[in-house]
Amino acid sequence: MKCICVKSENMDDWYLIQRAEPVGVPGLRRTDYGLSLYIPSRITDCDIEGHASEMVAIADAIDAGESASFRRCEAERVGDGYALMSPRNDERPVTITIEEAHELAKSIRAAVAGETR
């Protein structure tokens, strides 16, 4: 799954990791815990989000073949890929390939650099 980093439209210095190509349509979906808002751009059940410094740390970790974890964003090196999740909100991570992770790292750097111009 191709993932990208985007700047929040509503908050300064806040970024989200999302699907490059959203799947489905927004709406309410039943879960084990009741109803949940489905957002097609999310790669997990909730937003993987954080400050620019956290996103850059994730990009650095991916480029170094390591893991990085913060309250609302995490990239953990697992086997031949990376597990992405929000430690605060997710129960299950989504795993992407090493190649997809390196593309995400490039997207993170581009999104954050675009904000500093």
Q: Which pLDDT tens digit goes with each residue over 10-39?
A: 998 999 999 998 888 888 888 888 887 788
User: Taking Cα atoms as reference points, which of 51, 46, 29 lies closest to residue 87?
Assistant: 46
Q: Which residues have a Cβ under 8 Å from the Cβ of 7 and sit 6 or more positions away?
A: 14, 15, 111, 114, 115
| Domain residue spans of the chain | 3-116
In this model, does residue 111 exceed pLDDT 60? yes
Q: Judge whether 62 and 47 are in contact, CB under 8 Å.
A: no
In this model, does residue 116 exceed pLDDT 60? no
Q: What is the mean pLDDT of the chain?
A: 91
